[in-house]
Amino acid sequence: MEEHLTVGRVAELAAVTVRTLHHYDEIGLVQPSARTAAGYRAYSASDVERLREVLAYRRLGFGLREVADLVGDPSTDAVAHLRRLRGLLLEQRERADAMVAAIDRELEARAKGMTVTPEEQLEMLGAKLYDAIGGAYPATRRTDPRIAAQIWDALGDAETVLNVGAGTGSYEPIDRDVTAVEPSAVMRGQRPADAAPCIAAAAEHLPFEDQSFDAAMAISTVHHWGDPIAGLRELRRVARRVVVLTFDASSRGWQDRFWLTRDYLPEFAGVLADFPALPGMADAIGARTEPVPIPWDCADGLFEAYWRRPEAYLEDPVRRAVSVWTRVGPEPERRAVRKLGDDLASGRWAERNRELTELEAADFGLRLLVA
Ligand SMILES: C[S@@+](CC[C@H](N)C(=O)[O-])C[C@H]1O[C@@H](n2cnc3c(N)ncnc32)[C@H](O)[C@@H]1O
């Protein structure tokens, strides 16, 4: 007879409450396969294994629905879960290390009575990543006219526009008075000479009075902010209208929307583990949301841009211009590229994604928030 652990013992070992375990049972997340003679829940070795996965994903910040999808995926066995968890934890550790290092540098500077520049203060909040990878950005990242038309339409009749997380200036309308905000010196340095003036600051602390602009826009940047909700509220504070292009990582099964995440790079889910759900972001600024379809020949090399041109993902410059690839780490990147290359060569990719060749544009979860 297989050995079972009582619910009390499992709770003690896992450092969670019995109530949590009862809840997981009730919602079908971890259902113990047996009962003791007295009718108490009893956990088998495989129940414990599933619980361990659930708790580990929870600790990494995944929501209960996302965890249910992750552990319910029949194609992921225990070893694959362990590998994925390991990768996610290493990534989290790297981020924490980078933040600790930035804090140490700032503490040291302050102790010496030195002034800390805006760049130095923002290092830990994301500018650092773009100072490291931003040089590769202009190779493939530029304004796509169809996405731009949707953004500019949402800006309405705004004459003064603040572009936050502006990068190299993509999507900045040329017929309005634009002010840009960008924390990374490397990105600021790559703005064209005739681009709008750009200020070194971060979304979470915008150096402007309330209602200074007709509109504020933030394009493909919110997922980089240290505190997305605080940043969105800042946009709301300084502008009468807010337009944000972001990503819906909250609908059920979102990881399966795009074949690249579904079949080759499941680690992308970990990159967005701390990212707020779309309804929460919309609520923070009182926004409505609209889907932003990606044209099959999208001019802006964003992560999903090459959904109908899969060979592009085999090219290094294409990947280097998208932070996701750096954030998942070199091992998942190598594995994804190798597997995709194999599937393209064998015809497996084409077989699996036949329906895409018919489409001119597709929805992969990009959303415009308009408030
Ligand atoms: C993917 S790029 C998007 C740039 C531009 N909006 C575009 O559409 O090409 C993300 C940008 O967000 C910036 N960023 C990172 N953290 C930020 C923060 N806390 N506040 C504002 N911008 C930030 C990065 O430096 C980077 O330039």
The CATH number of the domain holding residue 42 is: 1.10.1660.10
Mean of pLDDT values over 2-14: 92
3-state secondary structure of 295: strand
- Ligand 1 pocket check for 167: Cβ under 6 Å: yes
Q: For residue 29, what are the domain limits? A: 5-60
Report the number of distinct structural domains present in the chain.
2
Question: Is 226 within the bounds of a domain?
Answer: yes
Question: Is 144 within the bounds of a domain?
Answer: yes
149 in the same domain as 46: no
Half-sphere exposure of 298 (CA within 13 A, CB side): 28
**pLDDT of 119:** 64
Tell me which DSSP letter residue 261 carries: I
Tell me which DSSP letter residue 247 carries: E
Q: Which pair of structure tokens corresponds to residue 135?
A: 């040089």
Whole-number Å distance, alpha carbon 123 to ligand 1 midpoint, is 13
Confidence of residue 143 (pLDDT cuts 50, 70, 90): very high
User: Which residue puts its alpha carbon closest to atom 27 of ligand 1?
Assistant: 167
* Atom nearest to 218 CA in ligand 1: 6
Q: How far from 69 is each of 52, 76, 81, CA to CA, in Å?
A: 15, 11, 12
User: Which residue puts its alpha carbon closest to atom 16 of ligand 1?
Assistant: 126
Question: Is 293 within the bounds of a domain?
Answer: yes
3-state secondary structure of 4: coil
**pLDDT of 249:** 93
Confidence of residue 115 (pLDDT cuts 50, 70, 90): confident
- CA 19 – CA 368 distance, rounded (Å): 39
pLDDT higher than threshold 60 for residue 47: yes
Question: Is 121 within the bounds of a domain?
Answer: no
Beta bridge partners of 43: 5
Confidence of residue 124 (pLDDT cuts 50, 70, 90): low
Question: Is 256 within the bounds of a domain?
Answer: yes
Q: Is there a contact between 169 and 300 (Cβ–Cβ < 8 Å)?
A: no
DSSP 152-169: HHHHTT-SEEEEET-TT-
Mean of pLDDT values over 315-342: 92
Name the average pLDDT for the chain.
91
256 in the same domain as 152: yes
Whole-number Å distance, alpha carbon 205 to ligand 1 midpoint, is 14
Whole-number Å distance, alpha carbon 317 to ligand 1 midpoint, is 19
- CA 139 – CA 269 distance, rounded (Å): 26
- CA 209 – CA 272 distance, rounded (Å): 31
Question: Is 23 within the bounds of a domain?
Answer: yes
290 phi/psi in degrees, rounded to 5 = -135, 140
- Ligand 1 pocket check for 226: Cβ under 6 Å: yes
User: Which residue puts its alpha carbon closest to atom 14 of ligand 1?
Assistant: 165
End-of-domain residue from the set 41, 60, 79: 60
- Ligand 1 pocket check for 148: Cβ under 6 Å: no
**pLDDT of 11:** 96
**pLDDT of 153:** 98
Closest CA to 57 of 70, 43, 75: 70
| CA of residue 285 relative to chain centroid, distance | 19
3-state secondary structure of 243: strand
pLDDT higher than threshold 80 for residue 302: yes
